[in-house]
Structure 1
């Protein structure tokens, strides 16, 4: 199956300039995603537990294409290799125009600015193409790499929720990191 046509965006970090291709996930990405998630399982623990089999992919993919969710794959433009995943979850329009953002990258590309570019590009897509006003990433306080990534992408810490999500058998505290649309539409441009 052919890949969906990506959109490319160049992003600049304080230390590096990177370009990534973002595309919506397709069913044809299944084998590549499962292989990447399996290979990166130790790298993602304990913070993320992406699917590692067909059943997990199908459950995730069904949520990506039928619900208020958009999953984007970040790829290195020259090689087309998978860099990471950015999920825009629980998109709510109307007066809220917001979603929750989840993301994870692959170890081969860590520390090179690619996931910062991917998260910034996903934010641009969410604001310009989806018309969102607010993106919220909820991150466990101990997950310093994810917090630093959110900061580099322009997210600001907004709050703290004790025992916010039930993960790995316990209720976990989370910090709320938020990015607001810098080009907020005027009220006359909004449709409920």
Structure 2
């Protein structure tokens, strides 16, 4: 399940393979503290080259099975973010979850919006999805604003939804429906 990179005006969305683990590891290590408030607790092993290789292999298997699409967001030299479409469900649902992160050095410049738009367009046009869901903790105003700009609509509120940074956190539930279905 390899696809050609998706180019945007300033970025490229790429599928990483296990041999690209150093690129993923560098991104994770550079942004470890910055992303910590919005992610599950990560032990030191999570950042090892071996764990990065295993995650990339697992992602590849999920993509091959049609259960996810995992994009690295890259500028000319480095990985600067992630845009992942996971938990793909087919049948009558035709939906997935969107997860994303952007490097601290690239926040507030429209990079995540640019990358997510390209990823969403791909998932609607080529993966045939009808619905993409994205959830965020209420305090994450940047995610709230991003999802609103992308056209996501609030659909609900989930109490104690995910364990983020060691604490069960409430989440705002949003979704984007394919505009031409």
Task: Give deviations 1:142-173, integer Å, cap 9, x for gaps.
Answer: 11122222222221211101111233443211
Decide whether the 8 Å contact of 2:152 with 2:175 is kept in 1: yes
Once residues 167 and 107 of structure 2 are traced to their aligned partners in structure 1, the CA distance between those partners, rounded to angstroms, is 28
2:26 to 31, 35, 40: 35
Gaps of 5+ in 2: none
Q: Secondary structure at the match of 1:179?
A: strand
Match status 1:46 vs 2:43: no
* CA RMSD of superposed structures (Å): 2.0
Q: 1:104 aligns with which of 83, 101, 104?
A: 101
TM-score by length of 1: 0.81
Deviation at 1:139, TM superposition (A): 0.8
- The equivalent residue for 1:189 is none
TM-score normalised to structure 2 length = 0.86
Aligned length: 172
Q: 1:38-187 counterparts in 2 under 5 A?
A: 38-48=29-39, 51-67=46-62, 68-76=67-75, 79-184=76-181
Cα shift at 1:4: 7.0
Shift of 1:28: 2.7
Runs in 1 of length 4+ with deviation above 3 angstroms?
167-170
Query: 1 or 2 for the larger relative contact order (CA 8 Å, sep ≥6)?
Result: 2
Q: For structure 1, which runs of at least 5 residues remain unmatched after alignment?
A: 11-18, 185-192
Counterpart of 1:15 in structure 2 is none
Q: Distance in 1 between matches of 2:101 and 2:154?
A: 19
